[in-house]
Amino acid sequence: MIKLTNRVRGYDSTVGDVCTRFVDMPVVNIGTAQNLFEALKESLSKHGLDFSNCLAFMSDTTNVMKGARSGVQKLIKNECPHILDVGCICHLADLSVKVGMQTLPVDIDKLFVDVFYFFFHSSKRKQEFCDIWNSLFTSEPQTILKHCTTRWLSLLRCVNRYLNQFDGLKSFFLSCSEAETSKVVSILQRLDNPLTKPLLFFLSFILPSMDKFNRLFQKSTQNTTCQLYNEMSRLVRLYASNLLKPECIVAVGNDLSKLNLATCNQLADENLGLGDATWKHLAEMEEELNPKPFYEAVRLFYVASIQKMLKKFPFGDSILKDLEIINPDQVSSYNFSTIERLAKRFPQLNINDSPSINSLRSEFMDFKLSPAKLPIPCTYKAATNEELPMPGKFWHEVHRMKTLDGEIRFPLLVKLMTGLMSIPSSNADSERGFSILRKIHTDQRPTLKQSTLISLMSIKFNCDQCCHDSIFSKELLTNCKRATVVHNKQ
């Protein structure tokens, strides 16, 4: 049995921004692509929605959903050929790191998982570790984190924690009473590998940029689609700058697909991007560690990660670059040809006929030539500590502008921009929905009715107000009390 958590993203004029809302959760007993598609279509239809009005589709990345030949995505495109699907950028970024991790000579992921589960069910082992830690260090021992390979932000937290605990963990497993067991031997082999600690230092240096990238596009409160193309390019250039000579990156200009990762274009060992802490550790271990295998491992990591990004990131979709026009700081620098191209790319907005295009041109030129009378763009602080624009609030203010006779001044332009803002850059909302569902439908609540589950999901997902700030009417509270009395009697 499969539960589909359906969410719709669109512009809400009452909020003045793009919002994601939980709609329904149909149950599908046999999870074929056709059955899932029919359930999704019926669910949308029940709420007065239709695929023909959808601009984009986003889901998890299973074959049944994303299959190019017979997945749900393909069936939706048969129904609505103009629907956009660029894939979840957060998942693609995480995948690029995982491909790089697979090239490392030490399986860091498996080390984290094995160490956690070694301690997980044993209070005795935990106490023994605390005793050894307290005998070596004055600080309190920290909790051993669980690395969840399906969580995009899990790896960096574990890398930093295990770096802090590395010497204590190594001492524990060297003196462990179960030293002869295969599990301890396997863990100790990886902890005792001279490459493990420098690799952790290296990951602690390179992963924060990926972490910030993921955090930016996981945001549920801000529209980041207009920054997608620039941020993808910046991430690739950042990784490339740690491996390649600067002139090789500059030579390709904006066409990053032409990056040549050949050895002849790579930096010398002493110039590789490793991070200051890594260089200090290598200097301390100079007599004990041959750095050549480490440098080779770093090169392989960079090459694999960059190649995966270039292959999977949707650089080839010109729409993403055009979507930068949503940004209030950028819109005036574009020509009408971009506006026209976007209007024709998404006929679902019903502004692609000749009269609408002509009106849209007039509105755009009016907008472009009167910047002094436009609202001042709002900003917010991103995970990178940059002040980024809030397109939703800006275009909401533009929508409120009227002519002297009281008519909306930019109706078609705002319709286009708010439609484009509804295009998601990741499926973080889908993953967030799954997490909420797991917290509601626990093993201790197996008899929840489907209707109750849907209502609880709707409250959790669609309520923008904190529970402690909510004010309930007297009538609602009275009805709740009556329902409780009836339930207790039954």
Domains and CATH numbers, the chain: 2-86+427-489 (3.30.420), 107-192 (no CATH), 202-312 (no CATH), 318-421 (no CATH)
Question: Angle 196-218/276-284 helices, nearest 10 degrees?
Answer: 170
C-alpha dihedral, 370 to 372 to 374 to 378, nearest 10°: 140
For the entire predicted model, the pTM comes to: 0.86
Report which of residues 204 and 402 the model is more confident about. Answer: 204
Scanning 103-181, the segments in alpha helix (DSSP H) are 108-120, 123-136, 154-174
Using alpha carbons only, give the angle 444, 449, 451 rounded to the nearest 5 degrees.
135
| 82-86, 333-337, 474-478: least confidently modelled range | 82-86
CB atoms within 10 A of CB 169: 22
Backbone φ, ψ for residue 420 (5° rounding)? -65, -35
**pLDDT the model gives residue 383:** 47
Kindly tell me if the per-residue pLDDT of 385 is higher than 60: no
Kindly tell me if the per-residue pLDDT of 375 is higher than 80: no
Cα dihedral 60, 300, 310, 242 sign? positive
Residue 297's pLDDT band (cuts 50, 70, 90): very high
**pLDDT the model gives residue 304:** 97
8 A C-beta contact, residue 253 and residue 182: no
Q: What is the pLDDT of residues 20-58, one digit of tens each?
A: 888 888 888 888 889 999 988 888 888 888 888 888 888
CA distances from 37 to 2, 32, 66, 189, 453 (A): 12, 9, 12, 49, 21
Kindly tell me if the per-residue pLDDT of 152 is higher than 90: no
Q: What is the pLDDT of residues 388-446, one digit of tens each?
A: 567 888 888 888 888 888 899 999 999 999 999 888 888 888 888 888 888 888 888 88
Kindly tell me if the per-residue pLDDT of 15 is higher than 80: no
**pLDDT the model gives residue 249:** 95
What average pLDDT is seen over the chain?
A: 87
Q: Read off the amino acid at residue 37.
A: F
Residue 262's pLDDT band (cuts 50, 70, 90): very high
Kindly tell me if the per-residue pLDDT of 450 is higher than 80: yes
Category of 13 on φ-ψ map: left (φ > 0), alpha (ψ -120 to 50) or beta: alpha
Mean pLDDT in residue range 357-366: 93
Report which of residues 92 and 373 the model is more confident about. Answer: 92
Q: Of the candidates 31, 152, 102, 146, which has an alpha carbon nearest to the alpha carbon of residue 303?
A: 102
